[in-house]
Amino acid sequence: MKKLLSILGATSLVVSAPLSVVACKKKVNPNIDDEFDYDKLMRDFIDNITIIFNTEIQNQFSDYNFISEDELPDNLSYLEIVENQDQFQKGNKGGNVYNKVMDWVSSLIPIEQINSSIQNEISSDINYKPILIDSGSPLKSGIFAEEIDLLVQKDAITISSKISSSISLKGKNQEIINEPISTVVSINVFEDNGDNLLEQAKELEENYKKLINSKNANYFRFSSDSGNLSQTALEIEDNQIIINNLKEQIQTLSTDEVLINEKNLQLEVINNSIINAAGSAKSNTEYFSGEYRFGFFPTFIKAIRGVDEAEKTLLENIKGNDPEWIDYSTPILYKEMNEKIKQGAQISRWVNQYALIKNSKKTGFKNLLFNSKSEFSIDKEKDANTLAVFGTKISGIKFQLRDSEFILDDKYIFIRQEITRKNTLEYYNDFIEQAWEFHKVFLDPFLKPDGATIFNIQTPKTWKKEDFVGKTFNARDFPTNDILYANSEANAINSDFNFSLKAVQWENSRLMKFDEIYINKVGELFCYNTSQSKTHFTKVNFLVLNVSLFGDIDSNLYQPFLDFYNYNDGTSKIEKSQKEEIMDVIGAVFTLKFSQ
């Protein structure tokens, strides 16, 4: 006990973190966890291959959407297929004619082109090396037509088939994962009866293509400041303004002979085809730690406590394109952007049209745009306020031609999300201000009698204090996200930007991991690393709140975000053998507020 008292007597608190149970100078830690997001890598790999697979097949079969019976293979005839339609019935598929149709459809699949595009665009990317099984195609099972369906109508027959494959890749534990993918194709064959029905169908198809790919290629847009693009993508699919606008425009293609049916129109934002306007600058908030603390950190503490002059000073130094208290770096390829900013252009260094153009070259978006044959393009002037673009599939459009009904091929539109602010510089500054306002409410600072500041963190209403106090948790299993979104008053501030929250730890401007959490007997939270020392817990209470615009802060630091690097005044170690004895007595950075 005497030893513990001597330790506590030498401990002083700024934010209430233990300054030095055992103190040491900051140094580069070779054990910082550099683990990349393996799950995201696998998702990107699968999504990018799926885009190539679907669009290459769609492009190949687009020449066969509407054909005459004369365009059937020499060994097939329209009459032969109709007379043997029983061979295409479900549960009883097979026979000579069925097999000939299957062979024909299979021969149209652009297998070589698909594999070549995957190799050139995806497999050759060194970032995917950890999940590649070998140097061959990831479509190990081949590409094949599963079965043939037949619909016989009065004026035409529709041959449809599901084209399938499976993406093979390595999982986290080097296990082989097979992800099935498929797309459906249709071939409409018209009987040669001299009524020009085929020509009418082709004319509609061409007009539809021009409407989507040319006339309206740069038409669709909506206003929103939200950075939660995944949520926005879901909302786009139910956006009745866009859907009704599309329906109205598509209806203009109807004629006396051709009747459009757009009632089943569906929108689907394609995975990995969303781009945003960030990537041109990376923030570094390290000025709030280490040797810089004597100037900036005390101002942060005063500001978070509600001292108006300190808050004014803080905001003046963290906003704008050249913030004094936030270091930043810009890739050399953004030279034109830097020149524009120097000339006084009202664009943000962190989010702008230059980054949007750069991101449009990302594999998924680039391939979808190219293979869709859309004339969509990003313009440096017109897209100055574009925050994101969503590659979106249109499906479910049918048309009636005399006594037969047909489905038009899927098409792709590229929908712009534009900010409501005057320019991206105003947008960025407002984001920083709202992120700061969120910090103030979420952290809910309290001044202790000893002069230290502790942050009171609201827990979910369903949490019971006895389930947490005095207990140790694995950091991976601890419901951190539940805490981050439990403060309803703070959440009300996040109405414009819909920004994302994360508890992060920094060291040398790199994100690092902690692996254990202890909540002491009065509800104070300690987080630390257990594996860097045999005798001590290290990096005690380096946790901070991070507010990021687009949310993927673990894998993308090149985006607008705000945090204050480290609330703990100094590096801390605690002897493992005295965990409860010390942590139940000394102050922490956070205390948890329980409703019950």
Residues 76 and 128 in one domain: yes
* Residues of the chain below pLDDT 50: 1-35
N- to C-terminal Cα distance for the chain? 33
Whether residue 295 is contained in a domain is answered as no
Boundary residue ending a domain (194, 210, 244): 194
Angle at 255 between CA 249 and CA 257, to 5 degrees: 145
The mean pLDDT of the chain is 90
The pLDDT of residue 572 is 74
Residues 384 and 445 in one domain: no
Whether residue 20 is contained in a domain is answered as no
Boundary residue ending a domain (420, 446, 468): 420
Question: How far apart, in Å, are the Cα atoms of 570 and each of 17, 197, 543?
Answer: 8, 79, 13
The pLDDT of residue 538 is 87
In percent, the amount of the chain with pLDDT more than 90 equals 78
Count how many domains the chain has: 3
The pLDDT of residue 11 is 31
Rounded distance, CA 104 to CA 93, Å? 16
Residues 479 and 582 in one domain: yes
Rounded distance, CA 392 to CA 410, Å? 10
Residues 335 and 469 in one domain: no
Q: Under a CB-based contact definition with an 8 Å cutoff, are residues 520 and 469 in contact? A: yes
Rounded distance, CA 55 to CA 371, Å? 6
Residues 253 and 398 in one domain: yes
Map residue 418 onto helix, strand or coil: strand
Residues 400 and 443 in one domain: no
* Tokens 């029905």, located at residue: 197
The pLDDT of residue 8 is 33
Residues 166 and 215 in one domain: no
pLDDT (tens digit, 9 = 90+) per residue, 272-325? 999 999 999 999 999 888 656 667 888 999 999 999 999 999 999 999 999 999
Whether residue 308 is contained in a domain is answered as no
Boundary residue ending a domain (194, 212, 229): 194
Rounded distance, CA 347 to CA 427, Å? 9
**Which two tokens mark 204?**
């509609």
Whether residue 291 is contained in a domain is answered as no
The pLDDT of residue 293 is 63
The pLDDT of residue 463 is 95
* Tokens 């590649």, located at residue: 132
Q: Counting beta carbons within 10 angstroms of the beta carbon of residue 449, is it exposed (0 to 12), middle (13 to 18) or buried (19 or more)?
A: exposed
Whether residue 491 is contained in a domain is answered as yes
Map residue 461 onto helix, strand or coil: coil
The pLDDT of residue 347 is 97
Residues 168 and 218 in one domain: no
pTM over 0.95: no
Whether residue 264 is contained in a domain is answered as yes
Residues 99 and 209 in one domain: no
Residues 217 and 362 in one domain: yes
Full domain range(s) for residue 218: 196-284+327-420
Whether residue 318 is contained in a domain is answered as no
Residues 57 and 159 in one domain: yes
The pLDDT of residue 339 is 96
Rounded distance, CA 62 to CA 50, Å? 18
Residues 274 and 348 in one domain: yes
Whether residue 293 is contained in a domain is answered as no
Q: Under a CB-based contact definition with an 8 Å cutoff, are residues 275 and 365 in contact? A: yes
The DSSP secondary structure of 292-345, one letter per residue, reads GGGTHHHHHHHHHHT-HHHHHHHHHHHSSSS-SSSEEE--GGGHHHHHHHHTT-
